[in-house]
Amino acid sequence: MKNKYLRQLLGRGAGIASALLAISTYTYAQAGGEADIQFTFDTPDSIESWELVYASETAAGADKVFDNGSLSFIPDWQQAFEYMGYATDLGGTYDFSTALITADVKYSDVYYAENEEGFTEFLAGGTVIMLDDNGRMAMGQFWGAWGGEPNTFTTHTYLDGASTTTYVQEGFDLTHVAKLGFNLLSEGELPEVPGAITYDNIRVRLAGSPPPQPAPPLVDFRLNQSNWIENIGGATSTYWDESTGLAYRNIYYDDTDSWSTDESIKHDFIWHPDLIGGRMTFGLTLPVEFADYAEGLRVELLDAAGRVAVLTELDAAGITFGSRMDFDYPKFNRSAFLRTDENFNLANVQGFLITIGLPAEPLLLNGTLELADVNVQVDARKPRNLENPRTVGKLSPKDLQLSLYFSEWFDGYEWIFHREMSKRALLITQEWQAAEERLSVGFFWHYATRNIKNTVLTQRVYLPAEAINSGVTLSFEFSDATNWQSFSVPAGNITPSSEPGWQDIEFDTAELEGLVDLTIIDSFALNIYRGDAIGNVGTFRIEPPLFTQK
């Protein structure tokens, strides 16, 4: 291939880019349909077949990197308007005359430079390249750093049929495409340091654009009034009314000896939904008293691994104080975010966080913050959005937690007990005192609830001989995440006829239907009630509970 063909096109890359900015950027919902050819770069060896097929005279090529499920090129730019092409063999020839080609593309922030006038200059771009079985080439639509945000994936359409090619080498046959790749172009000034141009989810649909797909059916995702977490710097009170979806927070700072902290409200979802294609709306009112202090406002999603996607980021000038601000995120996808942490997973979201930045200095202010009409909607076609998919799974004795409950408290009280751990069980010896009511041994999942519907519980317990006639009894306690509702059931009371040794106590959770919500259990415990016992009644050995699906 002669470089003059490329110079004719790429020497005026910026002009081509400007002309093509009006072409819409596809999301997956728009691109839709099954891909006939797709590259997702799931493993390091998936990038090996991508090779340099041409370069301008001074170009030194690029480092090719497997980047956590994506393909990154880090060009070693020598001068402005260099170009290079990387492609992979398709393993046959394909008719691209009506093909739709989309890809997710991310440019490093080094390709976004501010000039002397304060405007952003975009330092790199590129387009799809297709080579036929004779090595002749054609190019699709041109996109660059201007088409998205720094370090953020954006989905672009590079070809939608023969009419959208921007360069066709003489003799090129669009019905016999054998290789597919991308042209990388240096625009204007060189970046100060090397930066990555990253591709993922390259999709080719040979039949072209499918008909528009209807929006997914959305259903409200249940928000739990107990799952609000606050980070505060002064005395507060919070009220959550599930019927109106309104939280009030009375904020008061009056402490000249300590620094303030950012205000934040976080909601942990009752389980982790798939928010792809979903929606979130809410209203937020900040008190006028904050106007002289607030430095900014940020709204974020957090995935199950704690990675962050930023939805909104306002400085103080962008905040309205004393009146309601409405926030509406109509469709969650990659383009909905200002930026994300690497590998943020929108299909497994832990919750959302609203943060009001305050200065690190002593403050004297008070006011009421109102978070109103919070509504999260999810795709009703996805089973994990309709019912909690997380079951109990295998538990370890190390996860068992002890809690002691009293009938009354008195000064000078000391909890006297001995605890050991074996590979399979927790060993507990309790010295019972008259003020003590029960010892609880259990698991607390809190903001990561478990679904125990349609299961049978097997609790393996070693009963010491000393406990048989002591008055000690056992019960199971289940608590769901809705208002911390809990319910206890007997777990094989210890009677004079009970045999010491290992006991397998079974319980069908169907007996709890209507008493607790079995799909959002946030704690389970085996309670050992003191009854009339005083002193040492032997050592109980307790294995982790086993929940078996029926």
Shortest CA distance to 438 belongs to which of 487, 488, 404? 404
Q: Which of 55-64, 197-206, 360-369 has the lowest mean pLDDT?
A: 360-369
The DSSP string of 387-448 is S---------GGG-EEEEEES---TT----EEEEE-SS-EEEEEEE-TTEEEEEEEEE-TTS
Instruction: With a cut of 90, say whether residue 255 has pLDDT above it.
Output: no
Report the pLDDT value the prediction gives residue 121, as an integer from 0 to 100: 82
509 DSSP 8-state letter? G
| pLDDT, tens digit (0-9, with 9 covering 90-100), for 139-157 | 999 888 887 888 889 899 9
Instruction: With a cut of 80, say whether residue 44 has pLDDT above it.
Output: yes
Report the pLDDT value the prediction gives residue 29, as an integer from 0 to 100: 28
Report the pLDDT value the prediction gives residue 209, as an integer from 0 to 100: 65
Average pLDDT rounded to a whole number, residues 179-183 = 96
| pLDDT, tens digit (0-9, with 9 covering 90-100), for 344-358 | 889 899 999 999 888
What's the fold here for domain 37-205? Answer: Jelly Rolls (2.60.120)
Shortest CA distance to 425 belongs to which of 390, 463, 480? 463
321 DSSP 8-state letter? B
Instruction: With a cut of 90, say whether residue 518 has pLDDT above it.
Output: yes
Residues 366 and 234: their CA atoms lie apart, in Å, by 9
| pLDDT, tens digit (0-9, with 9 covering 90-100), for 103-152 | 999 999 999 887 776 667 888 999 999 999 999 999 999 888 887 888 88
Residues 406 and 437: their CA atoms lie apart, in Å, by 5
Report the pLDDT value the prediction gives residue 117, as an integer from 0 to 100: 66
Instruction: With a cut of 50, say whether residue 58 has pLDDT above it.
Output: yes
Q: How many CB atoms sit inside 10 A of residue 52's CB? A: 15
**Domain residue ranges in the chain:** 37-205, 219-382, 397-549
For the domain made up of 219-382, the CATH class stated in words is mainly beta
Instruction: With a cut of 50, say whether residue 63 has pLDDT above it.
Output: yes
Shortest CA distance to 443 belongs to which of 506, 393, 503, 493? 393
Residues 483 and 242: their CA atoms lie apart, in Å, by 11
| pLDDT, tens digit (0-9, with 9 covering 90-100), for 302-314 | 998 899 999 999 9
Q: Choose between 215 and 345: higher pLDDT.
A: 345
Q: What is the mean pLDDT of the chain?
A: 83
Instruction: With a cut of 80, say whether residue 234 has pLDDT above it.
Output: no
Report the pLDDT value the prediction gives residue 239, as an integer from 0 to 100: 54
Using 50, 70 and 90 to split pLDDT, how confident is the model at 17?
very low
Instruction: With a cut of 90, say whether residue 184 has pLDDT above it.
Output: yes
Q: What angle do CA 45, 51, 52 make, to 5 degrees?
A: 150
260 DSSP 8-state letter? -
Instruction: With a cut of 60, say whether residue 196 has pLDDT above it.
Output: yes
Report the pLDDT value the prediction gives residue 198, as an integer from 0 to 100: 95
First and final C-alpha spacing in the chain:
66
Using 50, 70 and 90 to split pLDDT, how confident is the model at 484?
low
Q: Specify burial of residue 125 (Cβ count, 10 A radius: 0-12, 13-18, 19+).
A: buried
Is CATH 3.30.420.40 the classification given to domain 397-549? Answer: no
Q: Specify burial of residue 256 (Cβ count, 10 A radius: 0-12, 13-18, 19+).
A: exposed
161 DSSP 8-state letter? S
